[in-house]
Amino acid sequence: MAMLSVNNLGISFGGLRAVDSFNITIEKGELYGLIGPNGAGKTTAFNLLTGVYKPDTGRVLLDDVNITGLSTIEINKAGVARTFQNIRLFRNMSVLDNVKIGLHNNYKYSTTSGILRLPTFFKTERQMNESAFDILKVFGLDKEANFLSANLPYGKQRKLEIARALATNPKLLLLDEPAAGMNPAETDELMETITLIRNKYNVTILLIEHDMKLVAGICEKIFVLNFGQQLANGLPSDVLNNPEVIKAYLGE
- CATH number, domain containing residue 37: 3.40.50.300
**Is 139 domain-assigned?**
no
**Is 183 domain-assigned?**
no
Domain span including residue 13 = 1-79+206-252
Of 112-121, 131-140, 158-167, minimum mean pLDDT range = 112-121
Rounded distance between C-alpha atoms, residue 208 and residue 43, angstroms: 8
**Is 230 domain-assigned?**
yes
pLDDT for the residue 251: 55
Number of structural domains found in the chain: 1
pLDDT for the residue 225: 87
Cα distances (Å, whole numbers) of residue 238 to 6, 57, 209, 222, 233: 22, 29, 18, 9, 8
Average pLDDT over residues 139-154: 95
pLDDT for the residue 252: 45
The pLDDT-based confidence of 116 (bands split at 50, 70, 90) is: low
**Is 162 domain-assigned?**
no
For residue 5, what are the contacts with CB-CB under 8 A and spacing of at least 6?
A: 24, 25, 26, 60, 61, 64
- What is the rounded average pLDDT for all residues in the chain? 88
pLDDT for the residue 118: 60
